[in-house]
Amino acid sequence: MTARVLELLRALGGRLINNWVWRLGFATRFLWLTLKESGTSFRRFHLTIREIYFAGVLSLIIILVSGLFVGMVLGLQGYDTLVRYGSSEALGVLVSLSLVRELGPVVAGLLFASRAGSAITAEIGLMKATEQLSAMEMMAVDPIARVVAPRFWGGVISMPLLAALFSAMGVFGGYLVGVRLIGVDEGSFWSQMQAAVDFREDIVNGVIKSLVFGVAVTWIAVFEGYDAPPTAEGVSGATTRTVVTSSLAILALDFVLTALMFRGT
Amino acid sequence: MMTRKELDLWVGIFAAIGIGAMLFLSLKVANLATFTNSDSYQIKAKFDNIGGLKVRAPVKSAGVVVGRVGEITFDNQTFEAVVTMNIGAKYEFPKDTSAKILTSGLLGEQYIGLTPGGDSVNLKSGDTIKLTQSAVVLENLIGQFLYNKAAEGDAKK
């Protein structure tokens, strides 16, 4: 009996060390290697441009459409609640603050993780499975500098732009529903928004959030791809893990960042 | 496969509209154009009670936003709240201007209302407004009402 319990504990501990601690250490070392080898992605910037195209430009449609719909839903729901207190003019404040502070970075980050992060992981994982990475090493080309770092920087550059587009589209969606459809006064919609939204506190903090999420998502994506077992199964598992881990990372980081940024004055 | 030129074009368009969205958020949503620290001056006012006044609350005169609350501190000597306001440089007020803490609407936020006086000398940066009126605190108001009622009752006897 005790032997079985001990065995179970050992198996659990082994899994914990192998799956979590070891991988976390490797991931950290991998991030350091990526940053160290980043010179190439800026010296030969067309490598990064190509990745910005795949991570950013191809995510545009989903980001813009989702942003518009999220903003329109916020407009409808916000109006429904605010009109009970006779302050429907505050709709602009509600829509813009919730988008700029939270929904823009978070939802854009989640969409980015599932749209671009999974693609990065699958691509790098397949390159590893088909031994393209080993072939590069044979030719004295560092796969981290040539393959990983440009994808990392492409994602990090794309993410704040996508989050800003999401928020801007959302504000526009809220404007469409609130002002055009329902008929909230246009002047007070914008002026109350401008009075309540602060550049440093809200916009800059939102951009910082999206930048942090961009680093987290692309780091997880390139690491999972690089670490994927070189089989079809391994690549599919790594792709799933990218989406799950980066979504959790976004939500957890969002709580930490919000607690740091908006403690209330 | 796309040529490098096409790729550059698309990424250029993406970067342009992304930066455009950031500019839209900064200028149209946050209205960055007004009241940056560079073109404003600071005026202090001491209040017995600031109620629910918060940093960044608007400072209005005749209903026009002329500045924002920059800092709220507590004076240990006089036991008063010291509110520092950043007033836009293009707005000038006479030295005997008075400051009140007002509420916009029933549930609205609190702001500072400036009522200009008649002095010929204007307030400078760092000056303190002498005449102030504190925020209305509901509990004090109810307390006063009850006290008055009780006093009326006594007078009738």
Same domain as B6, residue B51: no
Asked whether residue B2 carries a pLDDT value surpassing 80, the answer given is no
Q: For residues A115-141, give the mean pLDDT.
A: 93
Domain count, chain B: 2
CB B12 within 8 A of CB A158: no
B93 domain-assigned = yes
Same domain as B49, residue B123: yes
B153 domain-assigned = no
B28 domain-assigned = yes
Same domain as B25, residue B94: no
Same domain as B48, residue B28: no
Considering CB atoms only, which of B17, B20, B26 is closest to A199?
Answer: B26
Q: What is the pLDDT, as a whole number, of residue B107?
A: 61
Residue in A192, A119, A154, A122 with CA at minimum distance from that of residue A38: A154
CA angle A102, A259, B83 (to 5 degrees): 100
Cβ contact B55–A168 (<8 Å): no
B134 domain-assigned = yes
CB B148 within 8 A of CB B140: no
Helix (H, G, I), strand (E, B) or coil at A231: coil
Asked whether residue A264 carries a pLDDT value surpassing 60, the answer given is no
Please write the tens of the pLDDT for every residue from A193-229.
887 888 888 899 999 999 999 999 999 999 999 999 9
Helix (H, G, I), strand (E, B) or coil at B98: strand
DSSP, res B94: B
- Average pLDDT value over all residues in chain A: 91
Same domain as B127, residue B85: yes
CB B18 within 8 A of CB A207: no
Please write the tens of the pLDDT for every residue from A32-78.
999 998 888 888 888 899 999 999 999 999 999 999 999 999 999 99
Q: What is the pLDDT, as a whole number, of residue B52?
A: 78
Cβ contact B30–A203 (<8 Å): yes
pLDDT above 90 covers a percentage of chain B that reads 9
Residues of B with CB under 8 A from a CB of A: 2, 4, 7-8, 10-11, 13-15, 17-22, 24-26, 28-32, 54-56, 58, 65, 105, 107-108
Same domain as B90, residue B114: yes
Q: What is the pLDDT, as a whole number, of residue A118?
A: 95
B46 CB contacts (<8 Å, ≥6 apart)? Answer: B75, B78, B80, B81, B82, B83, B128, B132
B78 domain-assigned = yes
Q: What is the pLDDT, as a whole number, of residue A175?
A: 94
What are the tokens at A178? 């609130």
Same domain as B100, residue B74: yes
CA distances for A84 relative to A45, A80, A93, B107, angstroms = 54, 7, 16, 12
Q: For residues B98-114, give the mean pLDDT.
A: 80
Q: Average the pLDDT over each of A19-23, A167-171, B82-86 and give the range with the smallest value.
A: A19-23
What are the tokens at A10? 């050992």
d(CA A203, CA B30): 7
A44 CB contacts (<8 Å, ≥6 apart)? Answer: none
d(CA A155, CA B135): 50
CB A206 within 8 A of CB A108: no
Identity of the highest mean pLDDT range in A253-257, B22-26, B87-91: A253-257
Domain interval for residue B25: 1-33
Q: What is the pLDDT, as a whole number, of residue B141?
A: 82
B136 domain-assigned = yes
Residue in B134, B142, B144, B64 with CA at minimum distance from that of residue B103: B134
Tell me, yes or no, if the pTM score tops 0.80: no
Which runs of consecutive H residues, i.e. helices, occur in A176-204? 186-196
Higher pLDDT, A235 or B122: A235
B10 domain-assigned = yes
Same domain as B136, residue B89: yes
Asked whether residue A244 carries a pLDDT value surpassing 90, the answer given is yes
CB A47 within 8 A of CB A41: yes
For residue A157, the distance in angstroms to the closest alpha carbon of chain B comes to 9
B123 domain-assigned = yes
Same domain as B126, residue B52: yes
Amino acid making up residue B121: V
Quote the ipTM score.
Answer: 0.83
Same domain as B134, residue B86: yes
Same domain as B42, residue B12: no
How does residue A152 score in pLDDT terms, banded at 50, 70 and 90? very high
Same domain as B94, residue B27: no
Q: At what angle do helices A149-175 and A205-227 cross, to 10 degrees?
A: 140
